[in-house]
Amino acid sequence: MFDRLKTYCKTKVPLTDEELKLIDTYFENKDLKKKDFLLQDGKICNFIGFIADGTIRHFHIKDGIEKTCDISFENAWVTDFQSFTHNISCIMNLQAMENTTVFVIRKENLNKLYNECNKYETFGRLMAEQVAQRATEIAMSLSSDKPEERFQNLIKKQPDLFQRVPQKYIANFLGVSPESLSRIRNRIFKKSKS
């Protein structure tokens, strides 16, 4: 069941078959339908999730308006680290944009896994670094790239984005209106044809 996660883990840390079997013990499968929430604001996030299949939108609500912070796809990790680490209510929402499968490990099971096999501590550090690096990339892009550059980077990383995520959420993530996003798409399309 957790083959995708096991394959991913093996690319990061050398694990024996016995060590990989620990994933079966400590992770659980969560199947989400489109629009289902993996996490809602106000709750305490007590898990870290690995997206095996599908798409998760990260957003918070400010002044009654949804603000998309990120869109994660297969082989990405999702959590609200602040809530997870400090055991406080989160302000982040994690919502499926399509039918999505997430492999979840709860905080208490993560600690048991670390105690049982210290290679997973190394893996956990690498995973946290990946999440931190992604957050830094987004912050840098928002502060220095034009919306068109952010759009091109997004499409480069996820070419089937528009088939998987509604345009309004992509526009929200890029910090532009859906109409501006349409103009950006048209400009890029015209440039690529000439």
Beta bridge partners of 71: 57
Mean pLDDT of 175-183: 88
CA distances to 95, 165, 186 from 33, rounded to whole Å, are 9, 14, 32
Q: What is the pTM of this model?
A: 0.89
- Between 109 and 187, whose confidence is greater? 109
The two three-digit tokens of residue 160, written as one number: 């089937």
Assign 143 a pLDDT band (cuts: 50, 70, 90). confident
Specify the DSSP class assigned to residue 44.
B
